[in-house]
């Protein structure tokens, strides 16, 4: 069994607990930084329900990064809206050779970490997974789970392949991406329309989005615009990704995207990393994304005025 040494999980929500839990389940030395779930997890353990196999785990959980101490790998699954907290959370976890792997959504997270902690440390992973935290210390995995792994600003290294091997050995499907930047734009092809329209169209899940021909057309138009922009920026993303993503999404059934959950539970939506930063990068390249801009404006208004939805439409 390969190992990457001591691992810290910063951001122990659904993503952090699922992937950290799988690593711990398969013998990796994993340490979770937990806040709200700490007492429950210490008492009852971490529970994962999944068609790929349930897991009931006793894990190493801490309330401060200082208590964890220096690690060889730090996996960051904190919401990008809380990145400023990393300035204080990360330093106690570092030694000279510590690697930082961000599993966060949107654009700009690798750049943030590189600016504060050194570009040589930074890798990124894109999680294509249907997953929710249903209660304190309880994670429900519904479908998918692949991580697309890449290096910040450079091609894959020996360490990239070593980390991918550990993830795969831990039951986590992992594929190495030659260009992390292109992979980030590829994930935006799904995140921008589905996370955004779930809020903008009145609090609906993926089944309801694809069950309404008008909204599905909006999904396809947004995806087309995002891919065209990515191609203009030099990323090789094919238009047939649209059909593939939509058909995969149909298999998720009634899945509530993470941004909708954040919105409905009163948390800050990751507006800038997912919608704002792509628009800024397009503008810097003198490109226009009118449909993404329209959705961004809708979400900005809703976030600022916090409209309460009456129920949730969860089907066609």
pLDDT 10s digits, 45-63:
999 999 888 999 999 999 9
Residue 104 counted as domain residue:
yes
Instruction: Judge whether residue 311 has pLDDT over 60.
Output: no
Specify whether 170 is located in the same domain as 199: no
In a 3-state reduction of DSSP, which class is residue 125? strand
pTM above 0.95? no
234 — phi, psi (to 5°)?
Answer: 100, 10
Instruction: Judge whether residue 108 has pLDDT over 50.
Output: yes
Residue 220 counted as domain residue:
yes
Per-residue confidence (pLDDT) for residue 86, from 0 to 100: 97
Over residues 29-46, the pLDDT tens digits come to: 999 999 889 999 999 999
* Residue environment code for 18-27, b if the CB has 16+ CB neighbours within 10 A, otherwise e: bbbbbbbbbe
Which range, of 100-104, 114-118, 251-255, 305-309, averages the lowest pLDDT? 305-309
137 compared with 306, residue with greater pLDDT = 137
153 compared with 9, residue with greater pLDDT = 9
**CA-wise closest residue to 156 among 123, 131, 198:** 123
Per-residue confidence (pLDDT) for residue 252, from 0 to 100: 82
Q: Mean per-residue pLDDT for 119-134?
A: 92
Residues 199, 269: contact at Cβ < 8 Å? yes
Specify whether 167 is located in the same domain as 204: no
Specify whether 139 is located in the same domain as 243: no
Residue 1 counted as domain residue:
no
Specify the DSSP element, H or E, that contains 191: helix 180-200
Specify whether 198 is located in the same domain as 287: yes
Over residues 137-184, the pLDDT tens digits come to: 999 998 888 999 999 999 999 999 999 999 999 999 999 999 999 999
Q: Which residue, of 138, 158, 178, is where some domain finishes?
A: 178
**Phi-psi map region of 286: left, alpha, beta (phi>0 left; psi -120 to 50 alpha):** left
Over residues 194-210, the pLDDT tens digits come to: 999 999 999 999 999 99
Active site residue 187: yes
> What's the CA gap between 57 and 46, in Å, rounded?
5
Specify whether 73 is located in the same domain as 203: no
Specify whether 219 is located in the same domain as 295: yes
Specify whether 259 is located in the same domain as 293: yes
Share of the chain above pLDDT 70, in %: 97
192 compared with 313, residue with greater pLDDT = 192
Q: How confident is the model at residue 1 (pLDDT cuts 50, 70, 90)?
A: low
Q: Which of 6, 79, 186, 187 is catalytic?
A: 187
Per-residue confidence (pLDDT) for residue 309, from 0 to 100: 57
> What's the CA gap between 302 and 199, in Å, rounded?
8
Q: Which residue, of 121, 143, 178, is where some domain finishes?
A: 178
Specify whether 15 is located in the same domain as 155: yes
**Structure tokens that stand for 314 in this block:** 């969860």
The total number of structural domains in the chain stands at: 2
Q: How confident is the model at residue 312 (pLDDT cuts 50, 70, 90)?
A: very low
Instruction: Judge whether residue 2 has pLDDT over 80.
Output: no
**Structure tokens that stand for 145 in this block:** 């789970």
Q: Mean per-residue pLDDT for 80-106?
A: 96
Q: How confident is the model at residue 314 (pLDDT cuts 50, 70, 90)?
A: very low
> What's the CA gap between 20 and 249, in Å, rounded?
25
Per-residue confidence (pLDDT) for residue 310, from 0 to 100: 44
Question: Which residues span the domain enclosing 237?
Answer: 182-305
Cα-Cα-Cα-Cα dihedral of 195, 198, 203, 208, to 10°?
Answer: -140
Over residues 215-266, the pLDDT tens digits come to: 999 999 999 999 999 999 999 999 999 999 999 999 887 888 999 999 998 9
Per-residue confidence (pLDDT) for residue 284, from 0 to 100: 96
Give every CB contact of residue 105 below 8 A, 6+ residues apart in sequence.
80, 187, 191, 258, 270, 273, 274
Integer Rg of the chain from CA? 19
Q: Which residue, of 123, 152, 178, is where some domain finishes?
A: 178
Specify whether 121 is located in the same domain as 166: yes
Per-residue confidence (pLDDT) for residue 307, from 0 to 100: 66
Instruction: Judge whether residue 281 has pLDDT over 60.
Output: yes
Share of the chain above pLDDT 90, in %: 85
Q: What is the overall mean pLDDT for the chain? A: 93
Per-residue confidence (pLDDT) for residue 251, from 0 to 100: 86
């Amino acid at each position: 069994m390969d190992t990457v040494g001591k691992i810290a999980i910063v951001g122990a929500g659904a993503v952090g607990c699922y992937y950290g839990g799988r690593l711990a389940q398969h013998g990796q030395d994993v340490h979770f930084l937990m806040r709200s779930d700490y007492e429950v997890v210490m008492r009852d353990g971490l529970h994962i329900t999944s068609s790929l196999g349930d897991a009931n785990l006793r894990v190493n959980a801490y309330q401060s990064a200082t208590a964890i101490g220096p690690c060889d790998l730090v996996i960051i699954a904190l919401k990008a809206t809380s990145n400023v907290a990393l300035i204080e959370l990360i330093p106690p976890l570092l030694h000279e050779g510590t690697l930082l792997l961000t599993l966060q959504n949107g654009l700009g997270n690798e750049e943030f970490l590189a600016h504060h902690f050194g570009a040589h440390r930074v890798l990124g992973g894109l999680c294509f997974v249907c997953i929710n935290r249903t209660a304190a210390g309880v994670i429900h995995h519904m479908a998918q789970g692949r991580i697309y792994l890449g290096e910040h600003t450079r091609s894959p290294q020996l360490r990239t392949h070593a980390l991918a091997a550990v993830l795969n050995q831990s039951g986590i499907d992992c594929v190495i991406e030659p260009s992390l930047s292109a992979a980030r734009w590829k994930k935006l092809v799904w995140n921008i329309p589905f996370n955004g329209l779930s809020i903008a169209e009145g609090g609906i899940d993926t089944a309801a989005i694809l069950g309404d021909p008008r909204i599905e057309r909006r999904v396809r138009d947004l995806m087309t615009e995002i891919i065209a922009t990515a191609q203009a920026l030099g990323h090789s993303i094919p238009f047939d990704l649209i059909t593939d993503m939509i058909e995969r999404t149909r298999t998720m059934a009634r899945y509530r995207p993470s941004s909708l959950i954040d919105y409905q539970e009163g948390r800050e939506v990751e507006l800038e990393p997912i919608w704002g930063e792509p628009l800024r990068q397009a503008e810097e390249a003198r490109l226009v994304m009118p449909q993404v801009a329209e959705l961004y404006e809708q979400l900005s208004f809703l976030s600022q005025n916090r409209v309460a939805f009456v129920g949730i439409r969860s089907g066609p």
